């Protein structure tokens, strides 16, 4: 429980810090007056002021914000956000998204230099050295020997044991040869399930593919440090494509069916999986943060009021038309309404996640 809470705070802290720092540094470079830079939401647990900006940490670790003069109110100050050129406001608006992409790129590059299992790339096409291969159960057939023994999708098969003889499996083919050579016999498979080793006694039937599982291989690849940024960039790009397609299907499902896909998770799902990946080790944990960073970037880029993409939408039309399409007060009201709808959606997803995980 405590470990999961710590992992959750680390994940959100890194993601929010990267995103909001992007807005912050872009605003500062543009000469905009930044009134507050906050990680977490109030009430504040730590706060200090320097060079006109208040830096704070809020007790609610579910986000953060950069408060700029003239962002939500009218101001005649030349340093106000609303008085900047459309180009400057556009850069400030997308800076958080850009920082999340850069964070993902950095983390993927780092883990590949250390040694990691690619999320989207075929390990055989990665320009590096395979340092290990895991045999992963992708599916379990009904009424199979594996099903009866309690083997589940996601389990990693480590070795086989029979008559005090241990057999190590280098790949899925080794396991297939082993089970086929022990048809009609009882074997013991040692598996890894989320970091815990379990022994499974299995009575193999006298038939083809006696175990009854679908297998895959997950290879850990180490890339030379000078090639790691290129591999990390490619991994980031491939993940962006996957998330983009998923979000497209998600939006289509919401507007065509009025339903949110069961694959969508909120803060509760992030909390649960933060603990799971934290226990799996630093490499898996960093990959999880990188994948979430890509998701956060693309979600924020959607042209929805209250999100960065919503503000970008108004700025682009202002640039095209040469004037604002709505007054500042009206735009702020639209964003506030969008923010309320977004909070309601997050609440509904959170309630569903609570039922699912607890």
Residues 297 and 327 reside in one and the same domain: yes
Residues 339 and 267 reside in one and the same domain: yes
Residues 112 and 150 reside in one and the same domain: no
pLDDT of 258 reads 63
Give which of 37, 39, 36 is closest to 13, Cα–Cα: 39
Percent of the chain with pLDDT over 70: 95
Q: How many domains does the chain have?
A: 2
CATH number of residue 193's parent domain: 2.30.42.10
Is pLDDT above 90 for 259?
no
What is the domain extent for residue 198?
Answer: 129-221
Is pLDDT above 80 for 318?
no
Give which of 99, 114, 107, 105 is closest to 66, Cα–Cα: 99
Instruction: Give 220-273 as a DSSP string.
Output: EEE--TTTHHHHHHHHHHHHHHHHHHHHHHHHHHHHHHS---TT---HHHHHHH
- The per-residue pLDDT for range 138-197, each reduced to its tens digit, is 888 888 888 888 888 888 888 888 777 888 888 888 888 888 888 888 888 888 887 788
Mean pLDDT, residues 67-72: 85
Residues 334 and 244 reside in one and the same domain: yes
d(CA 111, CA 287): 7
Residues 188 and 334 reside in one and the same domain: no
**Domain-ending residue, one of 197, 221, 245:** 221
- The per-residue pLDDT for range 140-154, each reduced to its tens digit, is 888 888 888 888 888
Is pLDDT above 90 for 217?
no
Q: Regarding predicted confidence, which is higher, 221 or 348?
A: 221
Mean pLDDT, residues 258-284: 77
Residues 203 and 155 reside in one and the same domain: yes
pLDDT bucket at 206, cuts 50 / 70 / 90: confident
Residues 238 and 335 reside in one and the same domain: yes
Residues 103 and 229 reside in one and the same domain: yes
Residues 14 and 90 reside in one and the same domain: yes
**Domain-ending residue, one of 188, 203, 221:** 221
Residues 209 and 329 reside in one and the same domain: no
pLDDT bucket at 267, cuts 50 / 70 / 90: confident
**Domain-ending residue, one of 171, 189, 221:** 221
Establish whether 129 is a catalytic residue.
no
Residues 140 and 101 reside in one and the same domain: no
Give which of 141, 135, 169, 162 is closest to 149, Cα–Cα: 141
Residues 203 and 327 reside in one and the same domain: no
- The per-residue pLDDT for range 15-68, each reduced to its tens digit, is 999 999 999 999 999 999 999 999 988 888 899 999 889 999 988 877 888 999
- The per-residue pLDDT for range 230-245, each reduced to its tens digit, is 999 999 999 999 988 8
Give which of 218, 221, 220 is closest to 156, Cα–Cα: 218
**68: CB partners within 8 A, 6+ apart:** 27, 32, 33, 34, 35, 80, 81, 92
pLDDT bucket at 260, cuts 50 / 70 / 90: low
* C-alpha Rg value of the chain to the nearest Å: 25
């Amino acid at each position: 429980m405590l470990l999961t809470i710590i992992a959750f705070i680390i994940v959100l802290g890194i993601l929010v810090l990267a995103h909001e720092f992007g807005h912050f540094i872009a605003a500062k470079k543009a000469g905009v007056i930044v009134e507050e830079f906050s990680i977490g939401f109030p009430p504040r647990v730590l706060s200090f002021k320097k060079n006109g900006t208040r830096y704070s940490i809020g007790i609610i670790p579910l986000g953060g914000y950069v408060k700029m003069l003239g962002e939500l109110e009218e101001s005649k100050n030349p340093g106000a956000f609303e008085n900047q050129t459309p180009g400057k406001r556009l850069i400030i608006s997308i800076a958080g998204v850009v920082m999340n992409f850069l964070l993902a790129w950095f983390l993927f590059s780092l883990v590949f230099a250390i040694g990691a299992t690619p999320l989207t790339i075929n390990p055989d096409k990665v320009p590096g050295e395979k340092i290990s291969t895991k045999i992963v159960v992708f599916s379990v057939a009904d009424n199979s020997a594996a099903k009866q023994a309690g083997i589940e999708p996601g389990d990693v098969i480590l070795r086989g044991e029979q008559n005090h003889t241990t057999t190590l499996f280098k790949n899925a083919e080794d396991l297939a040869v082993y089970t086929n050579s022990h048809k009609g016999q009882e074997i013991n498979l040692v598996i890894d399930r989320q970091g815990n080793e379990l022994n499974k006694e299995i009575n193999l039937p006298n038939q083809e593919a006696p175990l009854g599982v679908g297998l895959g291989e997950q290879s850990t690849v180490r890339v030379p440090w000078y090639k790691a940024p290129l591999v990390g960039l490619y991994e980031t790009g491939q993940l962006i494509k996957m998330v983009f397609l998923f979000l497209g299907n998600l939006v289509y499902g919401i507007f065509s069916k009025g339903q949110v896909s069961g694959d969508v998770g909120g803060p509760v799902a992030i909390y649960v999986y933060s603990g799971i990946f934290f226990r799996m080790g630093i490499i898996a944990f960093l990959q999880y943060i990188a994948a979430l960073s890509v998701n956060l970037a693309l979600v924020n880029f959607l042209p929805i009021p209250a999100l960065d993409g919503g503000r970008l939408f108004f700025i682009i039309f202002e640039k095209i038309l040469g004037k604002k399409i709505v007054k500042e007060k009206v735009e702020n009201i639209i964003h506030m309404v969008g923010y309320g709808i977004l909070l309601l959606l997050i609440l509904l997803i959170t309630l569903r996640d609570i039922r699912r995980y607890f």
